[in-house]
């Protein structure tokens, strides 16, 4: 099931802009202290590094991803999620705008 609304959040109004504008997101903090980011990745192939574990939830579009240490690209579409371990990285290939929620934790 795709998350369509996040209620009761504080939003950082200044955008996080990465990779020359190919990824733009906003940071959110929920009432319980949980942090997330909501954003979009435009067509590109990018590599992201993680500090904390992350779950990428697709809320629109699709992507292919490859977790560090693996050779296989996996497709993820709206309503699907994939997990990345802490202190790792992942490659993401996007051919159409990919709308996501990144759950940290």
How many whole angstroms from its chain centre is CA 48?
9
Q: Is residue 6 part of a domain?
A: no
The total number of structural domains in the chain stands at 1
Report the percent of the chain where pLDDT is more than 90. 91
Q: Which residues constitute the domain of residue 92?
A: 28-104
Q: Is residue 12 part of a domain?
A: no
Element (H, E) at 11: strand 9-11
Cα dihedral value 85, 54, 81, 30, nearest 10 = 150
Residue 1: pLDDT over 90: no
Mean pLDDT for the chain overall: 95
Residue 61: pLDDT over 80: yes
53: CATH? 2.60.120.10
- Give the pLDDT of residue 12: 94
Maximum Cα interatomic distance, the chain, rounded to a whole number of Å: 39
Q: Is residue 71 part of a domain?
A: yes
Q: Is residue 49 part of a domain?
A: yes
Distance CA 30, CA 47 (A): 27
Q: Are 43 and 55 in contact (CB under 8 A)?
A: no
Work out the end-to-end distance of the chain between its first and last CA atoms, rounded to an integer number of angstroms: 20
- Give the pLDDT of residue 94: 98
- Give the pLDDT of residue 67: 98
- Give the pLDDT of residue 3: 86
Strand partners, 35: 29
Q: Is residue 67 part of a domain?
A: yes
Q: Is residue 47 part of a domain?
A: yes
Q: Is residue 9 part of a domain?
A: no
Nearest to 102 by CA among 81, 85, 73: 81
Put simply, whether the predicted model's pTM sits higher than 0.85 gets the answer: yes
- Interval 7-57: pLDDT, tens: 889 999 999 999 999 999 999 999 999 999 999 999 999 999 999 999 999
Q: Is residue 68 part of a domain?
A: yes
């Amino acid at each position: 099931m795709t998350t369509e609304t996040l209620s009761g959040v504080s939003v950082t109004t200044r955008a996080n802009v990465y990779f020359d504008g190919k990824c733009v997101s906003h940071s959110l903090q929920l009432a319980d202290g949980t942090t997330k980011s909501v954003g979009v990745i435009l067509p590109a192939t990018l590599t992201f590094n993680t500090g904390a574990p992350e779950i990428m939830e697709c809320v629109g579009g699709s992507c292919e991803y490859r977790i560090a240490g693996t050779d296989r690209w996996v497709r993820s579409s709206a309503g699907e999620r994939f997990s990345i371990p802490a202190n790792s990285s992942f490659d993401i290939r996007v051919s159409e705008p990919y709308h996501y929620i990144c759950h940290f934790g």
